[in-house]
Amino acid sequence: RRLSPQGRLCATCRRTSALYAVHAFVSYKDVAKELVWRLKFSGARAAAQEIARLLAAHLTPPENVIVMHAPTASSRLRRRGYDQAELIARALARELRLPYMPVLKRLGQQQQVGAGRSQRLAQLATAFRVSQPGLIKDAHILLIDDVLTTGATLEAAAKTLKAVGAKRISGIVFAQA
């Protein structure tokens, strides 16, 4: 997906995407990459708060918006002991004084590392479900993740949310690879 300066998807992608916009705040390199790696692979949970603080400083969310995260594969969750996107989303919701609703659930074990966009999209086609659809009907959602690689995870999650009645989904990621 190509993004415009305002985070809106390009005109071509808007026709096929469930996402309204995607905001990536930094490139996945240098200090940003180190921060994400420490969060994901070194147990540095405090990095989520720092990432949320940095995101909050650059966001002016619309009114009546709900924050949720794009859940990670359950095998990663078991190994790590936490979901890094959930930690970021919870902290961001606190920073922005917005409601956080973890109603998006991940099914299956598929990990996305090393897979291309088409393979990721295929793996994720049925990877998500919404546990309480009534809570997000007609809602504007800020869908949080740590890193944007191909956009397949955000896209699959957004399609699931749209299918149960979400009005608008904006992806918010800390870094873009």
User: What does 105-163 look like in DSSP terms, one character per residue?
Assistant: EE-S----TT--HHHHHHHHTT-EEES-GGGTTT-EEEEEEEEESSSHHHHHHHHHHHH
Quick: pLDDT tens for 56-87.
999 998 889 999 999 998 888 888 999 999 99
For residue 130, what pLDDT is reported? Answer: 96
The structure tokens 């969060």 sit at: 39
Q: Please determine, for residue 5, whether its predicted confidence score (pLDDT) is greater than 70.
A: no
Question: Model-level pTM?
Answer: 0.87
Helix (H), strand (E) at residue 23: strand 21-27
Q: What is the mean pLDDT of residues 101-110?
A: 85
For residue 145, what pLDDT is reported? Answer: 97
β-pairing verdict for 128-130 and 104-106: antiparallel
The amino acid at 148: L
Q: How far is CA 108 from CA 72, 81, 83, 171, in A?
A: 10, 17, 15, 22
